[in-house]
Amino acid sequence: MAGKTTASSLPCRLLLLLFPAAILALSSTEVSAIGVNWGTMATHQLPPEKVVRMLKENNFTKLKLFEADERILEALLGTDIEVMLAIPNYMLKKMSEDLSQAASWVEANVTRYKYWGGVNIKYIAVGNEPFLQTYNGTYIRQTLPALRNIYEALRKADLESEIKPTVPFNADVYDSPESSPVPSSGDFRAEVRDDAIEIIHFLYRIGSPFTVNIYPFLSLYGGGGHFPEEFAFFEGLADPLRDGDHLYTNVFDANLDTLVSALTRAGYPDMEILVGEVGWPTDGDVNANLRNARRFNQGLIRHVMSGLGTPARKGNIDVYMFSLLDEDAKSVLPGTFERHWGMFEFDGKPKYELDLSGSGEAKWLVPVEGVPYLAKKWCVLNPEANELLDLLPDTIDYACSLSDCTSLGYGSSCNHLTVQGNASYAFNMYYQMNDQKEWACDFNGLAVTTDRDPSDDSCQFPVMISSAAGAGFRWIYDGLVLLGAFSVGLLMMPS
């Protein structure tokens, strides 16, 4: 039909516009299983032991962490959940320059937990997307030396056969040329190709997988209205992309097979691939909602559990969904959806029904139980503060700059609120993030506390978790306040 955009008419680099944060292992010798990423960039944390109990009750058998947190590792003792630990990017420099630093890290975070009844650590992620274009090459020359030193530290600890280091790459390290925008033409980007292949050679030599993060949501988000929405999902409703004998009905398979082609061109056609993160957010954008998140994640699980693999790489797939919980302290520079990737709310309540077995019987996942909340109190706009309403815009911006108002943005779950509703939402988020302190619900007389929940069917005014439960993480919010790291001006204020 004239004017209709199809997947086959798009440049492959647009199909592969996939950004950061679940692990897929393409291996014909393993059984498909569902794992999950557990990020901790939140101002108020759930007790780790309660989260681990929830993981077990939902039969998550694989877990990816973004750092080696002592409290989480202690909670994982004796569970047999397979774990990938991570070394953050900011540690790559010292790891690359000093083997003793790598050895100390392995001793403190790996060897310490490797005993009968300890933590089942299988992988170490050296950095996270260190070749991401927005880093402007900061970590490119640090990654391989850090990887080598971590491997040497594992070897000296006699753990190199049990635990494999890997590097989670962003999917922007490879693409297909505009002259041949199909997966079989995939190759690594020219500016990172040599460095990437050096890492690939080392990983292959030591028997480690290539890890990549794939985000179909970001193809849709960054497509400027030209990306066919159905190609982001798994029902096969989009016009297929033909590549020789292969037909692609979703961007996930197309992206993964573009990587397969890039690895083949580099001389590693049989290299194991892990997809480090894959998921869909539930708020912060017009396409980020509960319906789309459930549709994508359920389609992905069904695809994984089928055991079919992709057109170019057959076999079982191990999936680590992104992500477990919402994280209200994440940067919103990629988009205001960044704080809403969780399958569970910040307090461990499941957001939607999901069938983790792929059998077709969707049900509510088991929540985190025994969550300690603050009192059932909210901070809202004072109905008697009419003479102060000219102060409202600046006051709302102030409250949002020190809390999380991403649900108020265009297309988000609370975007339908009035100016007064926006004010109440902003005041309450500031109040809750500051542990319901009395001074946090004043705003020069514009705000007042209430015991009546102002939430509606689509917009939730949360009550925060008690900070005592996650006291070890409170520094995150305090540091963000000092740095002014929360974004301002997210509100679409009615005129």
User: What DSSP element (H or E) covers 379?
Assistant: strand 378-381
User: What DSSP element (H or E) covers 421?
Assistant: helix 419-433
Closest by CA to 451, choosing from 373, 375, 377, is 377
Closest by CA to 397, choosing from 492, 270, 309, 303, is 492
Amino acid at 91: M
Tokens of 267: 């001389």
Angle at CA of residue 72, ends 344 and 373, nearest 5°: 50
User: What DSSP element (H or E) covers 175?
Assistant: strand 174-175
Task: Find the Cα–Cα–Cα–Cα dihedral 216, 325, 295, 232, rounded to 10°.
Answer: 0
β-pair type (26-27, 316-317) = antiparallel
Q: Which of 129, 272, 327, 338 is catalytic?
A: 129
Catalytic residue status for 30:
no
Give the CA distances from residue 274 to residues 102, 150, 260, 269, 339, in Å, rounded to whole numbers and listed in that order. Answer: 23, 19, 11, 14, 24
Give the CA distances from residue 291 to residues 303, 326, 392, 409, in Å, rounded to whole numbers and listed in that order. Answer: 18, 17, 33, 18
User: What DSSP element (H or E) covers 430?
Assistant: helix 419-433
Tokens of 400: 């949002």
Q: Which of 82, 277, 327, 338 is catalytic?
A: 277
Phi, psi of 418 (to 5 degrees): -75, 175
Residues 6+ apart with CB under 8 A from 138: 89, 130
Tokens of 75: 């909670």
Residues 6+ apart with CB under 8 A from 419: 392, 493, 494
| Contact between residue 326 and residue 39 where contact means Cβ atoms under 8 Å apart | no
For 199-258, the DSSP string reads HHHHHHHTTPPEEEE--HHHHHHTSTT-S-GGGGSSSS-SPPEEETTEEE-SHHHHHHHH
Catalytic residue status for 162:
no
**Residues annotated as catalytic (active site), given as ranges:** 129, 277
